[in-house]
Structure 1
């Protein structure tokens, strides 16, 4: 086998591109990014459905080290976010290090050589001293287990695999799901479809989205005076961070935001019967709060119908509930993602043959959401306990970049072959997370994608993002077991 690379990163979304950029800036040159698709971008490459956009303002949904002052809108659309990621990859030297069309099937820690042996779907293999998973939490579409789903004779697809060849003009379209993707899709396709039927299992909380285009003079001013961009970013951060009080400390404060929801609903839905069906039956914040200024107006169109009866089955001609049958030509599954597997479907094997599936049989666990005991020199980005309900995940990722970079530096400077977080440290962190999670709104009595099948919330960070940044400011040597390096062949200076 070729000499091991210093760092191999799996995935080229925000996590993978940002981590590679920070490593290169710190002088770690032998970095390889493995991407299973033909292009980079992660979720912003995959989700190209009509209306796809971010619900975090653009000035905050971007890297602090890669300022962009010419966003077209306050809330960035999918195509601009994807273009931004390509731009960052080019300007920071990441793009030449990305191997496209390279899907990782297995990574196995070779204890004798102290490297990760990474196998790919094409039969290739490479070695890495450090392995970073930047796969994200929202990358594997979930299709509902509905009887007869495969029998449908028309066109059907998941929102994250949008069929741009399907002409919806004048067609009878069903959208199954009313989550973050659906509320963006419905307003976009309603004017084109002949008839749109929206199947709602659980009503979401939707509040108005204060979106608008940036004026030319605003963009010019931001470019000319960088401090204004920094000030805008800080102001948005502070505003969003304050919401953590309601999510993680005092759930009763969510009643204040609930008033905003009810005001939006009352203003945009004049029919009291329809309005009643759009009121959630769980506390606000327990599931993801959605932002939209046009979802509710789309539901009052005469050619749009909201169905709240449970779907019993799908037939060759459409969708059936216990009360009615709906003949449709196209079914769009806006049904979310598999969110608790993190590194699935890859096989990850650590020390003593321990598989990640076995280590996580009772739920995903990782110290600070980054390191897993028994898996030396493996680092997760956007792992367990690092998702947010109130702020920008980019801020969390940048905290993780610094922590991982600190670990890589420690390995290089001390001559260690590997570091492995101690099991007692990981267990103590996991206990703290479970204890703190009990007071959060996410455990207030609803089922959400934040939860495992047994009801544990393992996705979200139960605290302030600045507290997470403080906790990850540098790796603590006392938290790790370590092994000394053996002589190895010199690493290459760059990718092949």
Structure 2
């Protein structure tokens, strides 16, 4: 019987485990270092945390939810949805929570996995599903140790910190910040937002679903399928804009510009991005600009010089007093699988293999690392649609891969196949909107290792059918030579 380990119990890990179990693979273990499932939706509990993709699409196609309260549901609902999925899929007996994987080494036949508590186990298949958004980044700002108040990343929100009546500094203007700031501004004494780069935004057409709509969803499932299809079509337009289609790009640019014109009077110049649309994720919001215009909210665009005991000093000499500091500064998205140490065939260290930037065939398989298949790996991030759609495509591909090795023994992707895919990714990303996008998605070597360069439907099509010719059980002497 094939023993399978899935590392991570978020959207990706749950999808992979469910489809593998449905395909008949029952010797399945799902580990997560936390005490509960949910991944980023377990970890992110900051005020205002919600999905920025409509729920009809930000959910599994095989598990539609008729009970969403609104089009863009808040974090507790999404976490509850994932918890129900685990129960409904029968995955609870397979969970091993509070268990952190620190290393995995290929023995020649299996993966020997080591846990933080000193224990270990062996598996035939290793499926890392830790995602790109599991390790928060806090910038190393001078004077950080001097700040006297509480400081936290949005992904590590401390519910014991009450911001009511306090001066709050928010560093960063990414996806979490544009949700957090409108949520806390009515309660804080003052909010100061420190912006390095203005985000591209689009209106967030949220709406609440009453009991009648939820009842209709349950009685007529076609309503949910229609909503999913409609949302998909909208993401096709934004996807074409991000990937360079001029008419779509003009339409989305016009809508984004109109939002700033209508909502950002007096601050328009400061909130207008100075980089191409698509370099960073386009954010959906209905209240970001209105909040920035509040008299008790300051938008600071000067660079931060250092932190002080009582706040933040910027390079223009101004001192901004803060009682609480919040970092909305994103994640170490390019450091895939860190800090787990992965050792493949012939002692290959994955960190060394990826020193110049992570790569994997279809974002899933790495030469030299047999029977290891990634969820949400390199070049599988989406800047415009639901990442859950990508997770499902990867999980279906992995089911095919596990079926293949169950009949052939250990397999690994051919070096020339992975090398050709990586070359294609870098060429397409280099020829597209990502040119001139500074270093947001790039490694030190200039490679773009996070984003998918095309439409989501293309990725689904390319992962729909695994070609056994792409894999070999006869390991070459140097599986990285063709890269």
Give the TM-score normalised by structure 2: 0.96
Say which SS state the counterpart of residue 434 (structure 2) adopts.
helix
Are 1:373 and 2:364 an aligned pair? no
Once residues 455 and 211 of structure 1 are traced to their aligned partners in structure 2, the CA distance between those partners, rounded to angstroms, is 38
- Counterpart in the other structure of 1:435: 427
Once residues 269 and 359 of structure 1 are traced to their aligned partners in structure 2, the CA distance between those partners, rounded to angstroms, is 46
Distance apart, 1:256 and its partner CA:
2.2
Once residues 159 and 101 of structure 1 are traced to their aligned partners in structure 2, the CA distance between those partners, rounded to angstroms, is 22
Once residues 452 and 360 of structure 1 are traced to their aligned partners in structure 2, the CA distance between those partners, rounded to angstroms, is 10
- Counterpart in the other structure of 1:487: none
Distance apart, 1:437 and its partner CA:
1.1
Are 1:59 and 2:52 an aligned pair? no
Return closer, same or farther for 1:448/1:74 CA change in 2, 3 Å cut-off. Answer: farther
Once residues 251 and 324 of structure 1 are traced to their aligned partners in structure 2, the CA distance between those partners, rounded to angstroms, is 42
Are 1:473 and 2:470 an aligned pair? no
- Contact 2:2 2:25 survives alignment (8 Å): no
- Counterpart in the other structure of 1:80: 77
Of 368-377 and 296-305, more deviation after overlay is shown by 296-305
Alignment length (residue pairs) = 474
Query: Which segments of 5 or more consecutive residues in structure 2 lack a partner in the other structure?
Result: 476-483
Distance apart, 1:230 and its partner CA:
1.1
- Counterpart in the other structure of 1:158: 153
Where do residues 75-224 of structure 1 align in structure 2 (5 Å cutoff)? 75-111=72-108, 114-224=109-219
Of 322-331 and 361-370, more deviation after overlay is shown by 322-331
- Counterpart in the other structure of 1:453: 444
Cα deviation, 1:320-360, whole Å, max 9, x if unaligned, reads 01220112110001111111111000000000000101111
Return closer, same or farther for 1:448/1:216 CA change in 2, 3 Å cut-off. Answer: farther
Of 452-461 and 355-364, more deviation after overlay is shown by 452-461
Cα deviation, 1:26-81, whole Å, max 9, x if unaligned, reads 11111000100011110101110000011111011111111111100101211111
Query: Which segments of 5 or more consecutive residues in structure 1 lack a partner in the other structure?
Result: 485-496
Return closer, same or farther for 1:358/1:367 CA change in 2, 3 Å cut-off. Answer: same
Of 258-267 and 38-47, more deviation after overlay is shown by 258-267
Cα deviation, 1:347-396, whole Å, max 9, x if unaligned, reads 00000000101111111010000000000000000001111012111111
- Counterpart in the other structure of 1:277: 270
- Contact 1:129 1:377 survives alignment (8 Å): yes
- Contact 1:255 1:284 survives alignment (8 Å): no
Once residues 238 and 196 of structure 1 are traced to their aligned partners in structure 2, the CA distance between those partners, rounded to angstroms, is 37
Once residues 150 and 95 of structure 1 are traced to their aligned partners in structure 2, the CA distance between those partners, rounded to angstroms, is 42
Distance apart, 1:455 and its partner CA:
2.7
Once residues 202 and 457 of structure 2 are traced to their aligned partners in structure 1, the CA distance between those partners, rounded to angstroms, is 26
Say which SS state the counterpart of residue 447 (structure 1) adopts.
coil
Give the TM-score normalised by structure 1: 0.93
Cα deviation, 1:256-308, whole Å, max 9, x if unaligned, reads 2121122111111222xx21111111122221111110111111111111111
Once residues 158 and 439 of structure 2 are traced to their aligned partners in structure 1, the CA distance between those partners, rounded to angstroms, is 27
Distance apart, 1:109 and its partner CA:
0.4
- Counterpart in the other structure of 1:302: 295
Distance apart, 1:251 and its partner CA:
5.5
